[in-house]
Amino acid sequence: MSATQTTARSPLETKLAARTAKVGVIGLGYVGLPLAVEVAKAGLDVIGFEISGKKVANISSGHSDIDDIEDATLAPLVKSGKIKATLDAKALREADCVAICVPTPLSKTKDPDVSFIVAAVDTLLPYLHPDMLIVLESTTYPGTTEELIRPKLEAAGLKAGIDFYLAFSPERVDPGNPKYGTRNTPRIVGGTTAQCTQIAKTFYSIFLDNVVTVSSTQAAETVKLLENTFRSVNIGLVNEVAQMCARLNLDVWEIIDAAATKPFGFMPFYPGPGLGGHCIPIDPHYWSWKLKSLNYYARFIELAGDINSHMPEYVVERIGDVLNNEGKALRGSEILILGVAYKRDISDVRESPSLDVIRLLQVRGAKVSYADPHVPSLRMEDGSEMKAIALTDQILAKSDCVAILTDHTGFDYDNICAKSHMVFDSRNATKNVPKGVGKIYKL
């Protein structure tokens, strides 16, 4: 039976159609909270389970710590009882559908860390009941749902596809994207059986605009890895092109923008100080790790990862070069970093290359400070804390070099270039600054 064939309506489908099904969300972070909001807006009650007391307290008071969810959106849903955040896992007993939205980081050796997934499943296991739908949304390696989650859930005696429904649906969150959010981004769904796929599609179709089914959980898991590996490999390419253009004394952004005028066969990607965030620096390694177990070496993935991971070192070298051009040494120079979030106009610093750049600059003896309107303080890898400074004309004039690592739209780049001794721009943020204003060096 194909995943697209319909079956007789189950009790859960009847509940979903009547909007009486209760939905549990395990993990109320950048994936779980937006999901909970969309589900609640569609009329279903949401039980949000979290292990963070602070997060539960914030959500229960109507406050969001997620950039894409405003308090004005969350608070009415909490006040009306459509969203309830809790530290008590027993509340999941009432759920008819459960989405697992927990982190999936890499270990120090770049092996998948599925401990959060395992913990979530162990938390849910005592409350698994017949006709329940469980969907994993956390990005992971192909086979996780079938090989890891299914056996743990079935150990309770119920069978996937018969007694309960199990599926994988990869999150496609792009923090700070003004056009695409949880609701209008097409969603991929793959179940362990055709009925599991159909039930999961019915669930997501209640609150999402477009749900696309695939043949299995493994296929759905691999779709997400392909999406972000595609980006990682292409970013790795343009990061290497940026280094080649610098040696040829060419403007890499001019080259890319000119190439992008071709209406077919080219898609522009842009260089930067390195990769950050929860997906692109991590997801390709999940795929690579899985393939190594099958005695296959993913050459493109590994090469792109190597190029991208060394971009912070290249940025530091370039900053040292531009200082040397001005007769200054990197050691002892005052470097002001503009932007430490991993992308513009958000507060997320996970895997941000800015942290590596700061650390490398400090190791080489530079005096480093930073300004970021979205990140008031920064916890470094060694446990130390940095505080953002106010971006004033005096601070700009005092700095030997101002390095733009995140191109927040709130920065006044004309004034930054005019008041600084020199600017190192790794994001092409100064592209609209009038010629002759300031001394600007590009990546």
SS (H, E, C) 179-247: CCCCCCCCEEEEECCHHHHHHHHHHHHCCCCCEEECCCHHHHHHHHHHHHHHHHHHHHHHHHHHHHHHH
Per annotation, catalytic residue among 97, 196, 279, 401: 279
Domain identity same for 344 and 388: yes
Total of domains in the chain: 2
Please give the residue range of the domain that contains residue 315. 232-442
Through-space distance between the first and last CA atoms of the chain, rounded to whole angstroms: 54
Question: How confident is residue 284, by pLDDT bands cut at 50, 70 and 90?
Answer: confident
Domain identity same for 210 and 239: no
Average pLDDT over residues 22-35: 96
Identify the pLDDT of residue 279: 76
Domain identity same for 185 and 287: no
* Mean pLDDT (the chain, rounded): 94
pLDDT digits (tens, 9 = 90+) for 354-407: 999 999 999 999 999 999 999 999 988 888 899 999 999 999 999 999 999 999
Domain identity same for 63 and 103: yes
The pTM of this model reads 0.91
From 131-135, 248-252, 291-295, the region with the lowest mean pLDDT? 291-295
Domain identity same for 322 and 251: yes
65, with CB counted inside 10 A (0-12, 13-18, 19+), is middle
CB-based contact 276:352 (threshold 8 Å): yes
For 327-349, letters b (16+ CB in 10 Å) and e give ebebeebbbbbbbbbbbbbbbbb
The token pair that represents 174 in the structure block: 């792009």
Domain identity same for 236 and 384: yes
Asked about 279 being catalytic, the answer comes back as: yes
List the CATH number of the domain containing 355. Answer: 3.40.50.720
**Does residue 227 belong to any structural domain of this protein?**
no
Provide the percentage of residues in the chain whose pLDDT is more than 70: 98
Domain identity same for 204 and 303: no
Name residue 374's amino acid: H
Average pLDDT over residues 117-132: 97
Identify the pLDDT of residue 2: 46
pLDDT(432) > 90: yes
Domain identity same for 284 and 199: no
From 143-147, 252-256, 275-279, 301-305, the region with the lowest mean pLDDT? 275-279
Question: What count of other Cβ atoms lies within 10 Å of the Cβ of residue 25?
Answer: 28
Question: How confident is residue 156, by pLDDT bands cut at 50, 70 and 90?
Answer: confident
Question: How confident is residue 4, by pLDDT bands cut at 50, 70 and 90?
Answer: very low
The angle subtended at Cα 98 by Cα 94 and Cα 99, nearest 5°, is: 150
Domain identity same for 78 and 124: yes
pLDDT digits (tens, 9 = 90+) for 168-192: 999 998 888 889 999 999 999 999 9
More confident residue, 32 or 111: 32
Identify the pLDDT of residue 380: 87
192, with CB counted inside 10 A (0-12, 13-18, 19+), is buried
Domain identity same for 46 and 180: yes
Question: What count of other Cβ atoms lies within 10 Å of the Cβ of residue 282?
Answer: 22
Identify the pLDDT of residue 278: 73
**Does residue 111 belong to any structural domain of this protein?**
yes
How crowded is the C-beta side of 170, counted as CA atoms within 13 Å?
Answer: 27
Question: How confident is residue 49, by pLDDT bands cut at 50, 70 and 90?
Answer: very high
Identify the pLDDT of residue 106: 81
Identify the pLDDT of residue 175: 85
Question: How confident is residue 54, by pLDDT bands cut at 50, 70 and 90?
Answer: very high
Domain identity same for 156 and 252: no
Identify the pLDDT of residue 381: 82
pLDDT digits (tens, 9 = 90+) for 230-255: 999 999 999 999 999 999 999 999 99
Question: How confident is residue 90, by pLDDT bands cut at 50, 70 and 90?
Answer: very high
**Does residue 78 belong to any structural domain of this protein?**
yes
Name residue 68's amino acid: D
- CA 314 from chain centre, in angstroms, equals 24
Q: Which of 181, 215, 249 is the last residue of a domain?
A: 215
**Does residue 220 belong to any structural domain of this protein?**
no
pLDDT(6) > 60: no
Q: Cα(385)–Cα(376) distance, rounded to whole angstroms?
A: 11
Q: Cα(266)–Cα(394) distance, rounded to whole angstroms?
A: 44
Identify the pLDDT of residue 346: 92
**Does residue 46 belong to any structural domain of this protein?**
yes
**Does residue 224 belong to any structural domain of this protein?**
no
Q: Which of 162, 185, 215 is the last residue of a domain?
A: 215
pLDDT(121) > 80: yes
Q: Which of 182, 215, 248 is the last residue of a domain?
A: 215
Collapsed DSSP state (helix, strand, coil) of residue 407: coil
Question: How confident is residue 225, by pLDDT bands cut at 50, 70 and 90?
Answer: very high
Domain identity same for 65 and 180: yes
CB-based contact 380:359 (threshold 8 Å): yes
Q: Cα(69)–Cα(247) distance, rounded to whole angstroms?
A: 43
